[in-house]
Amino acid sequence: MSTEKILTDWKQKKFKPIYWLEGEESYYIDQVVDYAEHSILPESEAGFNLTVFYGRDANWSEVVNACRRYPMFADKQVVILKEAQQMRDLEKLEGYIEHPLASTIFVVAHKEKKVDGRSRMAKLLKDKAVLVSTKKMYDSQLPEWANELVASKGYTISPKALMLLVDHIGNDLGRINNEIDKLLMNAGNRKTITEEDIELYVGVSKEYNVFELQNALLRKDTGKAMRIIQYFESNPKVGPIQLVLPSLYNFFSKVYILFSAQTKDEKAAAALLGVNPYFVKDYLAAAKNYGYEGVEKTLLLLHQYNLKSIGINSPGTEDASLMKELVMKMVM
């Protein structure tokens, strides 16, 4: 069952005794737990019938005893176990999971990893609980996800603003959601988020960022690329090399795919690469400016400099010096 289905059921007052939420993507787990904590029970009932435990501090017997209590002056009680992955003797919850109380809604947040699929606990959860396993979203899926999130709130975002936002934040759905909410709060009567909004409210320069560095490199504009790197050198948190290199590698990897497709049609190329049609001209331009051998050389260089950035074959070299050296080799 998906987290969306759980929330839909809860809004319709349809409940199961146990909900076990696990995996690497905390955003969806947090959504469900937040609703369970603040919205299942009316305020008048929550004081008596809501119990929240934290795995690091919780004793398994206290959790089980809370689950086995009957609700006071209500039909249901809610018991939440947060950070269950940190709880000692977690397997001792198996007895309750096997025979849960129908009047208790037991919600467990087991983040960062999944229960061992070979264990008795895993088999019980599959049979007795609503089990949701989450995994990190691929970086390539982030722009579409963020765009749909903005649309669900009744707004639109320009393609460039979308890429600035996603490239700056990275794979952190919760933070992307928070930044979008902040942007919308400051949008006034406007219904479109622009790159100026990203610069003003998120703190990403619309001139000096990874996206603009990529554009300079695809055009082989060495001067602009160096100015951006110098800006990164003065503002290390804006463009750390650990963010820049994977972003460039992802871009040139998609350029490399174009050579196998042998298409110059923008619509077909956008579908092949899974990118917004607005940006596909950049990939085609890079393919033209670098050629097959140039893109292949660039990918090898990016791999080499990624190793150097973690001290392999280049101990003690400053990140900015590595980036400048890389740019000169790329555009030669």
Least confident of 97-111, 196-210, 262-276: 262-276
Give the pLDDT band of residue 239 (cuts 50, 70, 90). confident
User: How many other CB atoms are found less than 10 A from the CB of residue 290?
Assistant: 21
Residues 6+ apart with CB under 8 A from 325: 305
Query: What length does the chain have?
Result: 332
Give the pLDDT band of residue 79 (cuts 50, 70, 90). very high
Give the pLDDT band of residue 224 (cuts 50, 70, 90). very high
User: pTM of the predicted model, to two decimals?
Assistant: 0.78
CATH number for 3-134 (one of 3.40.50.620, 1.20.1250.20, 3.40.50.11810, 3.40.50.300): it is: 3.40.50.300
Give the pLDDT band of residue 295 (cuts 50, 70, 90). very high
Identify the CATH number of the domain defined by range 139-202: 1.10.8.60
Task: State the architecture of 210-331 in CATH terms.
Answer: Up-down Bundle (1.20)
- What pLDDT shows up at residue 3? 92
User: What average pLDDT is seen over the chain?
Assistant: 93
Inform me whether the pLDDT recorded for 37 exceeds 80.
yes
- List Cα–Cα distances, 65 to 59, 98, 109, 230, 258, in angstroms: 10, 15, 18, 60, 60
Q: How far apart are CA 84 and CA 55, in angstroms?
A: 5
- What pLDDT shows up at residue 276? 84
Where do the structural domains in the chain lie, given as residue ranges? 3-134, 139-202, 210-331
**Mean pLDDT of the 174-188 span:** 94
